């Protein structure tokens, strides 16, 4: 990559992720550069520093790096208006440098419609890249604080954990016959068709969660934490936002058992 940038001159270079833009300083001054920002890392670390003050130094370091990086780019493509507000206020990035481009849902989402006869009663879906620490921690906390309590009174509930590269810890969850861990699936359509409720139990991270958008896109009821629903229209009739997992127990029961 470095050799290519040093050898040729380009009219425009588009960095799809912020971390790829470390090569930005190698470019000729006439080259226009675009950075797609999927996550504002300093914003995520700022949240973590609330419970871990030792991260304060790291937050400051990342903030300086991102501020320099975003200021050097010609254009910034963002996923939401919230990110625009953060960049214009926190980093004092000019508004005319920013273009908001909402994320696109996966192609398979547009190829089917949920129908009542295919929906399995008392089924939950967590759809996520399981190699991301925030996803792994989120589902483990959900199982401990919510799902296990549901099973006490309703042992026929099922939880599908669907997504790329689950860890050994994730697969151990499947020792419970009510938890199905699939790993990567080429076409997850069947899980979007049959899951009664989507869950997004995230307690860390930043940015719009594509998993939430995709489940809402097919009119699946979704229960999410405020972080899992960040940047998403909170007036969506299928979206319930709650940060108390004790209350999730009743929310899930009410949605599923009301249809029985």
- Token reading at 199: 């869950």
Residue 69 Ramachandran class (φ > 0 left, ψ -120 to 50 alpha, else beta): alpha
Name which of 120, 142, 121 is nearest 200 in CA terms.
142
Q: Distance of alpha carbon 143 from its chain centroid, rounded?
A: 19
pLDDT value at residue 29 = 62
Other CB atoms within a 10 A radius of the CB of residue 48 amount to 14
Instruction: Give the CATH fold of the 107-257 domain.
Output: Rossmann fold (3.40.50)
Domain residue extents for the chain: 2-100, 107-257
Instruction: Cite the DSSP H helix spans in the chain.
Output: 2-7, 41-49, 56-72, 81-89, 133-142, 148-153, 168-173, 189-194, 210-217, 245-257
pLDDT value at residue 32 = 87
pLDDT value at residue 81 = 84
Assessment of whether the complete model's pTM goes beyond 0.85:
no
Mean pLDDT by 10 residues, the chain (260 residues): 62 82 65 87 83 86 90 90 86 92 84 88 95 93 96 95 90 90 92 96 86 93 94 88 95 80
pLDDT value at residue 146 = 96
Name which of 162, 167, 159, 164 is nearest 136 in CA terms.
167
| Separation CA 44–CA 47 (nearest Å) | 5
pLDDT value at residue 14 = 87
pLDDT value at residue 259 = 62
Instruction: Give the CATH fold of the 2-100 domain.
Output: Rossmann fold (3.40.50)
The CA–CA distances, whole Å, from 10 to 13, 15, 37, 98 equal 7, 13, 21, 21
Q: Are 134 and 212 in contact (CB under 8 A)?
A: no
- Token reading at 92: 């004092």
């Amino acid at each position: 990559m470095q050799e290519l940038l040093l050898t040729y001159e380009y009219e425009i270079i588009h960095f799809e992720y912020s971390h790829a833009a470390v090569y930005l300083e190698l470019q000729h001054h006439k080259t226009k550069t675009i950075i797609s920002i999927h996550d504002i890392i300093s914003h995520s670390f700022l949240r973590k520093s609330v419970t871990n003050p030792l991260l304060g130094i790291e937050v400051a370091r990342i903030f300086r790096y991102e501020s320099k990086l975003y200021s050097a780019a010609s254009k910034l493509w963002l996923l939401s208006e919230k990110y625009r507000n953060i960049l214009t206020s926190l980093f004092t990035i000019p508004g005319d440098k920013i273009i908001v481009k909402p994320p696109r849902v996966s192609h398979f989402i547009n190829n089917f419609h949920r129908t009542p006869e295919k929906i399995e009663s008392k089924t939950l879906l967590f759809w996520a890249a399981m190699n991301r620490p925030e996803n792994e921690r989120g589902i483990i906390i959900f199982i401990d604080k919510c799902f296990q309590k549901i099973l006490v009174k309703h042992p026929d509930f099922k939880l599908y954990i669907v997504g790329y590269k689950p860890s050994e810890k994730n697969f151990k969850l499947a020792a419970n016959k009510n938890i199905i861990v699939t790993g990567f699936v080429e076409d997850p359509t069947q899980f979007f068709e049959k899951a009664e409720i989507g869950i997004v139990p995230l307690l860390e991270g930043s940015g719009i969660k594509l998993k939430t958008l995709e489940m809402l896109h097919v009119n699946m009821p979704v229960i999410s934490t405020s972080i899992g629903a960040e940047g998403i229209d909170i007036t969506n009739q299928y979206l319930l936002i709650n940060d108390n997992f004790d209350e999730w127990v009743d929310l899930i029961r009410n949605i599923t058992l009301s249809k029985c």
